Each structure stands twice: as C-alpha cells, then as structure tokens.
Amino acid sequence: MSAPGNFDSNAYWKATLGLIGKVLAIWFICSFGLGIMFADQMNTISLGGYPLGFWFAHQGSMYIFVGLIFWYAKKMGDIDRKFDVHEE
C-alpha cells in the first residue's frame, strides 16, 4: 500500500528534515562542540571528579547519543502518524 491520495509529501519531508536538523545539531554540539572545540573552557567546570570537557569526550557524548536516537525514533513515529504514513 502506498501513501494516501491527499498525502502532502513536501510537508512530511519538511517535518522530517526539521527533526533530523535538530538531532544533528545536538549530536554536533555535544561531541564536536563541548567535547573538542570548547573542551578547554569546559574543563574549568567539574562534574564530580571529572573536568567537564574531558567528560563530554570520554563519557557524556555517548550517553547523549543513546538518548538522542530513542528521542528521534519516537518523534519520527509521531510525524509518521500525523501524516498518516506509519506502518500498520
């Protein structure tokens, strides 16, 4: 079965790209931003015994990535249902 006749593929794709944009922004900020580019500034703050920049590079980014994928999967499911193109 393909998409229903009144399916607005442009709006659906725009919503999808919007979500992917947010996902990639978070992905980029936590790893490349806080873990690499601004690691020195982050290191002036500490999280328990961790300097924060080091924590983002060795721990934090990975936890955020995991949460990010599940969040994306849920949001993408919402978009699918809104446009009625989800799987039965």
Partner 1 sequence: MDLQTTIYLVVGLTFALYIGIAVWARAGSTSEYYAAGGAVHPVLNGMATAADWMSAASFISMAGMIAYMGYGGGLFLMGWTGGYVLLAALLAPYLRKFGKFTVPQFIGDRFYSKTASTVAVVCLLVASLTYIIGQMTGVGVAFSRFLGVSNDMGIYVGMAIVFTYAVFGGMKGITYTQVAQYSVLIFAYVIPAIFISLALTGMPIPQLGLGSDMAGADKSLLATLNQVVTDLGFGQYTTHLPESKLNMFVYTMSLMIGTAGLPHVIMRFFTVPNVAAARSSAGWALVFIAILYTTAPAVGAMARMNLHATINPTVMTGGDVFAADAAIEAEKRPDWMKRWEATGLLKFEDKNGDGRIQYYNEKSKDEAFKAKAEAAGWKGNELTVNNDIIVLANPEIALLPNWVIALVAAGGLAAALSTAAGLLMAISAAISHDLVKGVFKPDISEKGELMAGKIAMALSIVVAGYLGLNPPGFAAGTVALAFGIAASSLFPAIMMGIFSKKMNKEGAMAGMIAGLAFTLFYVFAHKGIFFIKGTEYVDLIGGPNAFFGITPEAIGAIGALFNFAIAFLVDKMTKEPPEHIQHMVEAVRIPRGSKAVDGAH
Applying CB under 8 A, which residues contact partner 1? 1-3, 7, 9, 12-13, 16, 20, 23-24, 27, 31-32, 35-37, 39-40, 43, 47-51, 54-55, 57-59, 61-63, 65-66, 68-70, 72-73, 76-77, 80, 83-88
Q: Closest separation between CB of residue 85 and partner 1, Å?
A: 4
Question: What minimum distance in Å lies between the beta carbon of 6 and partner 1?
Answer: 14
With CA atoms as reference, report the closest residue to 40 among 50, 54, 59, 30: 54
Q: Which helix (H) or strand (E) holds 50?
A: strand 50-51
Distance CA(58)–CA(55), nearest Å, equals 5
